[in-house]
Structure 1
Amino acid sequence: MMPVKFSLILPLILVGVTITSEAQPSSFPIICSDAATFTRNSTYQTNLNTLLSQLSSSSASSVNGFYASSSGSESDVVYGLYLCFGDISTDICQNCVTNATKDIVGQCPIGKEAMLWYDNCFLRYSSQRIVSILALNPAFFMWNTQNVTDMERFNELLAKTMGEIANEAANAPSGAKKFAVKETNFGFHKLYTLSQCTPDLSAANCYECLQSAISNIPSCCSGKQGARILSPSCNIQYELYPFYNETGFSREIYPNYNSTVVPGGLVFPPPPPVPGSITRPEEGKGGKKTQIKVIASTSAAIVVLMLFSSSIYTIWRRKILQNEDKEISQEVQLLDLGIGRIGSDPLSKITREEEMAMNSQDFPMIPFNIIYEATKHFSDEAKLGEGGFGPVYKGTLEDGKEVAVKRLSATSGQGLQEFMNEVTLIARLQHRNLVRLLGCCLEKTEKLLIYEYMPNKSLDFFIFDSNMGLHLDWQRRLGIINGVAKGLLYLHEDSRLRIIHRDLKASNVLLDYEMNPKISDFGMARIFQGNDNNSTNRIVGTYGYMSPEYAMEGFFSVKSDIFSFGVLLLEMISGKRSSRFYISEEGESLITYAWKLWSKGDGLELMDPSLVNSSVAAEVLKCIHIGLLCVQDDPAERPTVSSVVVMLGSDTITLPQPRQPAFSIGQFVARSAPSSSPKICSVNQVTLSNVSPR
């Protein structure tokens, strides 16, 4: 195909370019060929009109927002296509294509080849075959005028994410939209990305086109918060705000954007005129008086500009100093909390490099006023619950993002240590089954932790309530069991920092919109290496979930978490709380009761009655078996979490036989409490409170 020279038509005054007075609102450039033209009222024009009519009418029934056709034959044939962007509805697509087919004729009255981009669609026609042929040029760039603060980290994340969605779009099924979007966490923000190809391209050509567009980002848009790159065969876009729509509404307009078109042969828009610039008068139309006026006006403008610049600089400098003071204050508070001295704790084993990373700006420090407004001034209406750390509030940020805010209570001695643990541990843990810590705040004597919000509260809200339990059938519970096990596997074996949670229980398993489990509350967690057995005089956790060696002697290890997981597993099957099971007349704990039923072959009697219709008997019995293995008295006889994951996922593996439990902590508590009083006691900083889920 011979190269074609194009002219660019933009709603700007450009030298040597035709200007239209009726630009489509929020439109992109229209590119017309200079070299290839046709004669008015010719056969080619007739064929072109027929083609545009076909494209316009087909938009009402297009399934994937794409249509290609041709009109005429031999030297007068016209090929055309349109592509509607993947996040818009059929109605918006039809309206956009209809407008484009009308406008392109007026903008390119005699060009044999033309391309037009609007916010929601792209239209193209040519005298050469264009369907299923990769076209990378010309390319149109737009970029957000706002800059990112951490360019290196942003560029690294952007390259990774754009590569992923380019691969996803390219490998879409035949006939489907070659379209992909993704949102990725970038500090306290989210990076939203989009990629799309015309569906007529092969997977290889689509990927090549998208990679070509991605490779242009550094040269056109490096360090910018957002950009959009359009070419005839594909387009990409990214922003730090949600710009695409999955509900079929029109995409946003792009204010405060600059734009240009490449490569050679295309006209670049000139820079906008400087505000206050003076136009030089023509000779003979003012003489010396005019020159004096010009000089005086110029001098006055310069003086005003200098004063204005001075004021702006003063305000800017004052703000910088305030920010520096705030950062110093936050740094001092972190040091006061002991974050700068973490390595002194022999159990934490945090290296100096990790300590320095924690004190870097990678971890978001969120201003207090943002959280204060988001939680409606920490109102009772926004309060979700309260624990040993302090109250927890629901907050809604200005962009609509929902968060959960833990506020350190001024009277909580335990909460200060929890705060240290949360900031230093969970901030560096990333897994789909662990709740995400989005940031923290250290201002105005406040210590706040900001998490992702879990709309479906916590697991105990469902499994211990006969009515709510109906929402969790057996398959959902089995999915939650597997999710918790995988989260624990990450903590014990896969994360850079190997963690013992020490307080795994139903109220610390939160559920997202799709009921996926996420382990939370790392305030009592400890870092370990290898198969360390550690001891402590400060026993923390929840009776009913504690392993015997930890509750009685203060010894804890990864097997302590396995014990807690086993209790949780039995609770999910039975719908009964382990910590309150001792109220039964026999004085049995949930563990001993489960053993008695399972050893007699009556294990299914342990099952929550609400699960009868949805359960698979073999799966339930296997889970009871695994639960009993996890709660063995001897830690050495409990399986590792990796073994638990394998057991849960296999239908053929032979499970070892568990031993009869000698006693349990639930039974121990029952014996040490007066039988006449149902009051639950708390000793040695062990929590028995039921915190409202977040």
Structure 2
Amino acid sequence: MDKDKMSSTMIMLIIILMLHVVSCTDHLIIDTYCPDNFPFYTSNTSFHKNLKLLMETLSSNIAASNTSYFNNTSIGQGLDKVYGQALCRGDITNSTVCKECIEKASKDLMNRCKSEDAMVWYELCQVRYSFQMFFSDAVYTGKYPKQNDLEKRVSDPTSFQQVLTYLMNNLSNEAAFNPAKNMFATAEIEFSAKKERIYGLVECTKDVSETDCGSCLSSAVTELNACCSYREGGIIVSRNCNVRFDLFQFFNASSAASLLIFPTSKGGKWKPWMYVLTICGSISILAVLIGLCTACRRQKNDRDKDEERSERMLFQELSSPKNVAITQEGELISSDQLLFMTLATIKAGTDDFSNTNKLGQGGFGAVYKGVLPDGNEIAVKRLSKKSWQGIEEFKNEIILIAKLQHKNLVKLLGCVLEGEEKILVYEFMSNRSLDQFIFDPNKRPKLDWKTCYGIIGGIARGLLYLHEESRLKIIHRDLKPNNVLLDHELVAKISDFGMARMFSENQNTANTKRVVGTHGYMAPEYAMEGLFSVKSDVFSFGVIMLEIISGKRNGGFYLTELAPTLLAYAWKLWNEGKGLEFADPILLESCLDYESEVLRCIHIGLLCVQEDPQHRPTMSNVVVLLGSESMVLPQPRQPAFSSGKMIRVDPSASTNCSLNDSIWSNISPR
């Protein structure tokens, strides 16, 4: 009996040890999403405390739904509110295993990332949190885990891909449109004469619709085919769905995985006419495919030639000893105004674009800090090869900013155009961008009212120069705190002119089908109708002005119960006679003797964000109003979007947008 007991004990220990090893393997991390273009939270703030509490409660609050564990949770109020989501893989039926995975994932995510929006994928679970409400949002952003690169190649990729595609498409349809599957499906299928099998798994989060689940899985399977259809395994993860395949059974055997049969043609002997029909049909299809391929290749070659021609023309313009670009007015930009630099110089100055010198990342590409051979510090904007900011925007920025010289505009020092590299070199701004000051709890106290007032005035004077004082008439179109840089003395300088547009002397408005910019700063007539003018920039300036005073973002303000938007909140307090309550309390402490000035700036900000562009002041009006306390201000009208509505602007009524209503007729710059 003692020997039997010892044997039983040993067997139990071995089983426990094996389970532990499996558990450790299952808790391996697949990938992490920790963007550096989102705000980063600060330790011990209300947001951080709410996040810690949410991460601690995600696993305990997870609820069972059939065989899947899924939970959406939020903690906190206002701007400090945090939203969280946890999902365990659909084949996990043990709540303890699920909770352990979520607990580990939550802790790892907190240790790995300080962004206000982040996500982590584990073998058996995934966890996400964000400062904005994302439940039920179906925005596909697939990620390609590095482990895909470690998978071996298959011997017959063509037939393997056919079988794999059949498997994953069937699984996607089952998971998305069969309610009994609860948005999770597994299956296996034979792909060789040796009876080898592919095992597949697909899953969606339980907060999206069937259609959104199907769309997400379709996108993920497309990426899976592109990256891994010739490999022995592959995985694509995203916010709302995940897909995976392997040549071994990696999911729970009890998850009722079905065995699919790849369809093959079977039947009796073929008759001669069948062979003739098949051969003729194949030849016809082949001819059509060859024609399509030839047309596509010719079209691609034409596009490549056009792009090469554009880059070659720009290169010639830039490197010409006589000029580097021609403005819309026909004026030349001399080589004295813009230095044509070499790629080798920039690589040496940025330590070959080292990550330690990386200042930030945007849709255009990355920005690096560098040093020229003469010791001057520079900021280097390196356009990504996949950037939406192509050769036209690159040329546009060179033409505009090289010709514009003002103390409140960032100075362009030079550019590089070598091979596929398109680089812009600017003067270095040691205090980075304005958004890092007004929205960072640690840096915010450095902005006293005097400094804020100076920044507001600097932005206003920079815009006035663009709109009225330069030889060109420039509409920026993407004015936001990220594009306002601060030098060592916190002097504001407007940057990023890739989206800017020039107007002729008598032109007041323009229309575009390509609406560019950032929501929250875009004027309603531009966002909805594509109409832009100097008044579009005035709207953006008004939003920035109110953000500086309040310390709150306009985008994302809907998360609070105070009002649907920051503009609506300012309007509400203004009408209630509580304008000073809109200002950041930290800012008010530094302006006890300037409260009337703060109220006046809120008033001017509300004038700038009025719905009708004709009611907004010009920047010359704004500069005068900022510099004169004695001038009476008109009463502001309702801000754009303050009641959650969109407006439609009659283009015929906007053609004289720079001719102001009579309320502005008696205001002119001194």
* TM-score normalised according to structure 1 size: 0.46
**Rg larger for:** 1
* TM-score normalised according to structure 2 size: 0.47
